[in-house]
């Protein structure tokens, strides 16, 4: 376990080594939240409620889902693709640790870093600028905490899955980009799932994506009843378990037919 904690620390150091990335990140997220805030106020156009969400809830939803994104989002799929394409994965395989586990920990280190130095100050700034409403109910915070941790795992598992496919396709930057757009759209980051047409909502019930952004944001904005929230977290948990299977399977096959590129 020690080594995994150490990896989180290393990732912190790496994030600190690239401070410019950090500052531009804050800027980009603020612009995004601002843009969605103005878009949604225009869409509401004076109406108080839409599909069960008030304007204030909507603004909070947007702010929280972007801040949660800072935590669950990571680029380990792209990193894995690079490592595999350049043959660096060879060096990882001669270390006595689980490569995928180590990658997950790197993602977690990055996530915790952003949560502390990015989301928290970001949320304070946002709450000063826009009319967002935070709850002080500790149960909601607790459920939200569990929920974003699970969304981190779901998102990271999908990243690992995309990353491993590099072993088979050798260049999968297109797939990585497509995956990112799909997650942003279907996870409810851009549009809450309840705004989708009924048939699409039915389809998405059977997909893991809403567990990434929609569920934690709805929990935080009190868009879910307590029972709904518990069910949603249970659903997230099930996805985390289910996704282990294809990852292990693909990893097993990939290791078998591994070719290290570049000598």
> Which residue lies nearer to other proteins by CB, 23 or 97?
97
Shortest reach from residue 141's CB to other proteins, in Å = 33
238 binds other proteins (CB under 8 A): no
> Which residue lies nearer to other proteins by CB, 227 or 257?
257
Q: Select the residue interacting with other proteins from 231, 238, 258, 261 (CB under 8 A).
A: 258
169 binds other proteins (CB under 8 A): no
Q: Select the residue interacting with other proteins from 26, 90, 125, 161 (CB under 8 A).
A: 90
Sketch the per residue contact string, 92 through 111, with other proteins: x for CB under 8 A, - otherwise: -xxxxxx-------------
End-to-end CA distance of the chain: 33
> Which residue lies nearer to other proteins by CB, 98 or 202?
98
3 state SS of 60: helix
How far is C-alpha 80 from the geometric centre of its chain's CA atoms? Answer: 17
Task: Say how many C-beta atoms besides its own lie within 10 A of residue 66's C-beta.
Answer: 23
Sketch the per residue contact string, 15 through 54, with other proteins: x for CB under 8 A, - otherwise: --xx------------------------------------
Residue 201 near residue 193, CB atoms below 8 Å: yes
3 binds other proteins (CB under 8 A): yes
133 binds other proteins (CB under 8 A): no
H-state helical runs in 130-225: 138-164, 166-169, 173-186, 198-205, 214-220
Any long-range contacts for 220-224 (C-beta under 8 Å, 24+ apart)? 220/60, 220/61, 220/64, 220/135, 220/140, 220/144, 221/53, 221/57, 221/60, 221/61, 221/64, 222/57, 222/135, 222/140, 223/52, 223/53, 223/57, 223/61, 223/192, 223/194
Q: How far is Cα 184 from Cα 205, in angstroms, rounded to an integer?
A: 16
> Which residue lies nearer to other proteins by CB, 171 or 228?
171
Shortest reach from residue 3's CB to other proteins, in Å = 4
Q: Select the residue interacting with other proteins from 27, 42, 245, 259 (CB under 8 A).
A: 259
- Residues lying near other proteins in the complex (CB under 8 A) are found at 2-3, 6-7, 10, 13-14, 17-18, 87-88, 90-91, 93-98, 255-260, 262-263
């Amino acid at each position: 376990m020690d080594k995994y904690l150490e990896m989180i620390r290393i990732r912190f150091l790496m994030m600190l080594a690239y401070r410019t990335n950090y500052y531009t990140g804050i800027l980009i997220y603020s612009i995004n939240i601002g843009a969605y805030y103005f878009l949604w106020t225009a869409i509401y156009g004076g109406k108080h409620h839409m599909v069960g969400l008030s304007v204030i809830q909507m603004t909070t939803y947007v702010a929280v889902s972007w801040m949660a994104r800072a935590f669950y989002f990571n680029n380990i799929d792209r990193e894995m693709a690079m490592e595999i394409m350049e043959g660096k994965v060879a060096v990882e395989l001669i270390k006595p640790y689980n490569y995928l586990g180590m990658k997950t920990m790197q993602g977690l280190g990055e996530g915790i870093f952003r949560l502390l130095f990015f989301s928290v100050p970001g949320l304070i700034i946002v709450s000063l600028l826009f009319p967002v409403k935070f709850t002080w109910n500790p149960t909601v915070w607790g459920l939200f905490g569990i929920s974003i941790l699970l969304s981190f795992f779901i998102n990271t598992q999908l990243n690992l899955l995309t990353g491993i496919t590099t072993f088979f396709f050798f260049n999968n930057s297109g797939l990585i980009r497509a995956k990112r757009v799909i997650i942003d759209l279907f996870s409810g980051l851009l549009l809450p799932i309840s705004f989708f047409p009924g048939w699409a909502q039915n389809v998405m019930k059977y997909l893991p994506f809403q567990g990434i952004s929609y569920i934690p944001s709805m929990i935080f904005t009190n868009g879910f009843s307590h029972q709904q929230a518990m069910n949603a977290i249970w659903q997230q948990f099930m996805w985390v378990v289910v996704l282990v299977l294809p990852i292990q399977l693909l990893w097993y096959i990939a290791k078998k037919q591994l070719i290290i590129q570049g000598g």
